[in-house]
Amino acid sequence: MMPASPHPMIAMPAALREALADGAPVVALESTIISHGMPYPQNVETALSVEALIRDQGAIPATVAVMGGRPTVGLSSAEIQHLGQKGRGVIKVSRRDLPRCMAGGLDGATTVASTMILAARAGVAVFATGGIGGVHRGAEDSFDVSADLEELGQTNVAVVCAGAKAILDLPKTLEVLETKGVPVLGYQTDELPGFYTRTTGLPVDQRLDSPEAIAAQMRAKWDFGLQGGLLIANPVPQAHAMPADAIDAAIEQALKEMDAQGVGGKLATPFLLARVAELTGGDSLATNIKLVENNARLAAAIAIAYNKSAER
CATH number where 23 lies: 3.40.1790.10
- pLDDT above 70 covers a percentage of the chain that reads 98
Summarised one tens digit per residue, pLDDT across range 135-154 is 988 888 889 899 999 999 99
Question: What's the chain look like in SS3?
Answer: CCCCCCCCCCECCHHHHHHHHCCCCEEEECCHHHHHHCCCCHHHHHHHHHHHHHHHCCCEEEEEEEECCEEEECCCHHHHHHHHHHHHHCEEECHHHHHHHHHHCCCEEECHHHHHHHHHHHCCCEEECCCECCEECCHHHHCCECHHHHHHCCCCCEEEECCECCCECHHHHHHHHHHCCCCEEEECCCECCCCCCCCCCCECCEEECCHHHHHHHHHHHHHCCCCCCEEEECCCCHHHCCCHHHHHHHHHHHHHHHHHHCCCHHHHHHHHHHHHHHHCCCHHHHHHHHHHHHHHHHHHHHHHHHHHHCCC
What is the mean predicted confidence (pLDDT) over 194-213? 96
pLDDT at residue 120 greater than cutoff 90: yes
pLDDT at residue 269 greater than cutoff 60: yes
How high is the pLDDT of residue 265? 77
Is there a catalytic annotation at residue 308? no
- Assigned domain for 21 exists: yes
How high is the pLDDT of residue 219? 97
- Assigned domain for 182 exists: yes
What is the mean predicted confidence (pLDDT) over 260-269? 83
How high is the pLDDT of residue 2? 58
- Assigned domain for 6 exists: no
Active-site residue, from 79, 92, 165, 266: 165
How high is the pLDDT of residue 3? 57
- Assigned domain for 56 exists: yes
- Assigned domain for 8 exists: no
What is the mean predicted confidence (pLDDT) over 67-74? 98
Domain that holds residue 30: 14-309
- Assigned domain for 116 exists: yes
233 vs 244 pLDDT, higher one: 233
- Assigned domain for 275 exists: yes
Domains identified in the chain, total number? 1
- Assigned domain for 4 exists: no
How high is the pLDDT of residue 4? 58
How high is the pLDDT of residue 312? 62
Summarised one tens digit per residue, pLDDT across range 283-312 is 988 999 999 999 999 999 999 999 998 866
233 vs 38 pLDDT, higher one: 233
How high is the pLDDT of residue 293? 97
Is there a catalytic annotation at residue 165? yes
